[in-house]
Chains A and B, each alone.
Chain A
Amino acid sequence: MGVKIVPRHGKTLREKLYLPAIFGGMKTTLRHFTANLGDTPQIKTFSYPEEQPQDIGERYRGVHRLTKREDGSVRCVACFMCASACPAECIFIEAQEREDGVDEKMPKRFDIDLLECVFCGACVEACPCDAIRMDSGIFSFIGKKREDFIQTKEQLLAREAKENA
């Protein structure tokens, strides 16, 4: 294997003058400027609240939702796997006996504190019943009080999967 000699720059007169390089750089920026001025619609920036992003994919981890069984009842069996897996400890479950014979247990309360949540998806991975998912596609969650960010079981059940996902 031969010795590789890396050429050093900055020794020629042209490079020492700096000015050719500076003018070259200015030419580049001016080219961008004129191209963008002549055709602003080609700039990739979109006006956010008016234009929504279209690249929220199937695997995007949005705000959680609780899935339902075929009969519309909650799929969760209150096994606490998600709460144990949660690194941010933001899931609070209170279990109760399930009386209708479909299963043995169900959550009485199922709260997720979105201010604590780090949206890691560990709860989705941990769930043995596919009862919690993050496929709602909601990337921006807005509330006016801290209490608004604690999602209850009812809110989580009411949420649907993102349509095209």
Chain B
Amino acid sequence: MSGLAIGIVVLNVVLALLFSLGAAPILVWIERRVAGLIQDRLGPNRCHIAGIRLGGLVQSLADMLKLFFKEDFRANAIREKFLFSLAPVIVFVSAFLSFMVMPFADDVYVEGERFIMQGLPIDTGVLWFLALAGLSVYGIMIGGWASRNKYALLGAMRSGAQVISYEAAMGLSLISVLLCYPSVQLGDIVRAQGELLGGILPAWGIFLQPLAALIFIVTAFAEANRTPFDLAEGESEIVGGFHTEYGAMRFGLFFVGEYVAMSASSALIVTLFFGGFQLPYLNTQTLHVTMPLILGALGIVVPLGSFYCIRWMRKHNRWALPNDRRNRESAWLSNIIIGLNGILAAGIGYGLIVGLSSFSTHMLTALLQVVTFALKLLAMNFVFVWVRWTLPRFRYDQLQMLGWKVLMPLALANIIVTASVIVLKGA
């Protein structure tokens, strides 16, 4: 293995960490700020390190720090101490591992060697995700049972029944998607979505399989235990649900695990239905050919975006006291953005004047695709948060009704229709 190859593998692992684990504080921040703005409040915005607030992002760091330094408390009534400690680990690890098969970019060929751009370079794809997503319910069940608390047990039972019944609909909706694509490997599925449908629409899963997309998104919400399906923790009736007895970093693992699971679900939704790393109308081959043009376009779009960003910041990033050092943050951040733009412009200018080698074209394509994937992931995570602050929680019988009587038959019908169309087209 050459140094470059090792570099790419390390890069993949770092990216997978960044998108799942690194996303958790950012998602917490997004959740709280979006909730605030939706409800006509501000959300957390006071926390700062030497005046740097980053719009409240520092609050997430402070919260994590607090969870780390809290007393690791466990009630004496809890007998199964090992299982009690194991539960958050299972939730966290299964959520974390399920992210590992998401492709961030098209396969990269370096010196004739093929590199799959995902955390674990394996071909199991969707199956890996389904297996690990199903595992997380064990963490919740064990945690709820080992807590020796009726609320925790009730929450765990609700959650278990919910996840198991929605997994059926989820698996069935996936079958019709997999019928459309030749492989279970997510990279192949995304490559197939780079084509055009009838020359107009990109062949994204949502256009090919709108019903499956809807069912999958709904069941993904249930699988990640997010509102409107967060029955595992109904504050009004069963306190905190399965994590009632947990505190400090044990609770922190549950908490982070929830956000990582949400991020993983978003990643799979994006990969299956929204074209994954594909830019619409620009698949990998087109990107290779038109790279100078795209760089030129970026050279215009990014400074323009930065200009509006800085203008927005000047207007909004204020602090009530005029002499507070938090007021100096905007100028500081503006300078950083301008500096980054300068570096970008210099890089693009150099690339366009000197000309791009085949290797750098491939690397830039991969970079562009990683950025595309990240933006789509962010958008899908925003949808998760947006739905949470819009819809109320389901009642338990309504939840099961929706799962078994609506989503499951719809998914089955969808399979039959899809299969018939494919057979008729083949015949």
B-binding residues in A (CB < 8 A): 22, 25-26, 28-30, 32-33, 36-37, 40-41, 43-47, 50-51
Q: How far is the CB of B353 from chain A (nearest CB, A)?
A: 39
Contact at A29–B38, with CB atoms within 8 Å? yes
Closest to A34 in B: B37
Measured between C-beta atoms, what is the minimum distance from A49 to chain B in Å? 9
Give B130-143 as 1s and 0s: 1 = Cβ < 8 Å from A's Cβ atoms: 00000000000000
Given contacts A22-B391, A25-B390, contact A33 B319 (CB under 8 A): no
Q: Report the Cα distance A32→B43, complex, angstroms.
A: 14
Decide if B42 is an interface residue (CB 8 Å cutoff).
yes
B37–A37 touching, CB < 8 Å:
yes
Contacts of A40 in B (CB 8 A): 42, 316
Query: Which single residue of chain A is at the shortest CB-CB distance from B214?
Result: A19
Q: Are B40 and A44 in contact (CB under 8 A)?
A: yes
| Beta-carbon contact of B321 and A32 below 8 Å | no
The CA of A37 and the CA of B386, in the complex, are separated in Å by: 14
A33 touches B320 (CB 8 A): no
Contact bitstring B291-324, A, C-beta under 8 A = 1, else 0: 0000000000000000000000001101111001
Which of B315, B318, B319, B390 has the most chain A CB within a 10 Å cutoff? B390
Residues of chain B lying within 8 A (CB to CB) of residue A28:
390
Q: Give Cα A45 to B43, complex, Å.
A: 10
CB distance from A16 to the nearest CB of B (A): 10
Interface pair A47/B39, CB less than 8 Å apart? no
* A32 & B39 in contact (Cβ 8 Å cutoff): yes
Q: What is the distance, in angstroms, from A48's C-beta to the closest C-beta of chain B?
A: 9
Q: Shortest Cβ distance from B18 into chain A, in angstroms?
A: 25
Quote the shortest CB–CB distance from A116 to chain B (angstroms): 32
* CB contact under 8 A between A46 and B320, given known A32-B37, A33-B38: yes
> Which of B38, B316, B324 has the largest number of chain A CB atoms within 10 A?
B38
Whether A33 pairs with B34 at a CB distance below 8 angstroms is yes
Q: What's the tally of chain B residues with a CB closer than 8 Å to chain A?
A: 20
Residues of B within 8 A of A22 (CB): 390-391
How far is B34's CA from A28's CA once the two chains are assembled, in angstroms? 14
B422 interface residue per 8 A CB criterion: no
Q: Are A45 and B42 in contact (CB under 8 A)?
A: yes
Query: With A and B bound together, what is the CA distance between A40 and B318 in angstroms?
Result: 10
B222 to chain A, nearest CB (A): 15
Interface centre among A28, A33, A40, A43 (most CB of B within 10 A): A33
A33 cross-chain contacts in B, Cβ below 8 A: 34, 37-38, 386
Closest Cβ of chain B: how far from A130's Cβ, in Å? 38
**Is the pair A32, B40 in contact by a Cβ cutoff of 8 Å?**
yes
Write out, one digit per residue, whether chain B residues 14-43 have a CB within 8 A of any chain A CB (1) or not (0).
000000000000000000001001111110
Q: Could you tell me the distance between the alpha carbons of A32 and B390 in the complex, rounded to whole angstroms?
A: 11
Q: Using a CB-CB cutoff of 8 Å, which residues 39-59 of chain B contact chain A? A: 39-42, 46
The 3 closest A-B pairs by CB, nearest first: A50-B320, A36-B37, A47-B320
Question: Which residues of chain A have C-beta atoms less than 8 A from B386's C-beta?
Answer: 26, 29-30, 33
In the complex, what residues of B have CB within 8 A of residue A44's CB?
A: 40
Partner of B320, one of A30, A32, A36, A51: A51
Contacts A33-B34, A36-B37 aside, 15 further interface pairs with beta carbons under 8 A come to: A25-B390, A25-B391, A26-B386, A26-B390, A28-B390, A30-B386, A32-B38, A32-B39, A32-B40, A40-B42, A41-B318, A43-B41, A45-B41, A47-B319, A50-B319
Contact with A along B218-251 (1 / 0, CB 8 A): 0000000000000000000000000000000000
Does B389 make an interface contact (CB < 8 A)? Answer: yes
Judged by a CB distance under 8 angstroms, whether B387 is at the interface is yes
Given contacts A41-B316, A47-B319, A51-B320, contact A29 B41 (CB under 8 A): no
For A22, give the chain B residue with the smallest CB separation: B391
The answer to whether B42 and A43 have CB atoms under 8 Å apart is yes
What residues of chain A lie closer than 8 Å to B391, measured between beta carbons?
22, 25
Q: List 12 A-B contacts (CB under 8 A).
A: A29-B386, A29-B390, A33-B34, A36-B38, A40-B316, A41-B315, A43-B40, A43-B42, A45-B41, A46-B320, A47-B46, A47-B319
B307-349 vs A, Cβ < 8 Å mask (1 yes, 0 no): 0000000011011110010000000000000000000000000
What's the nearest-Cβ distance from chain A to residue B55, in Å?
10
| Inter-chain contacts of A50 with B (CB < 8 A) | 319-321, 324
A25, A40, A41, most chain B CB atoms within 10 A: A40
Closest residue on chain A to residue B41 by CB atoms: A45
Those of B380-399 within 8 Å (CB) of chain A: 386-387, 389-391
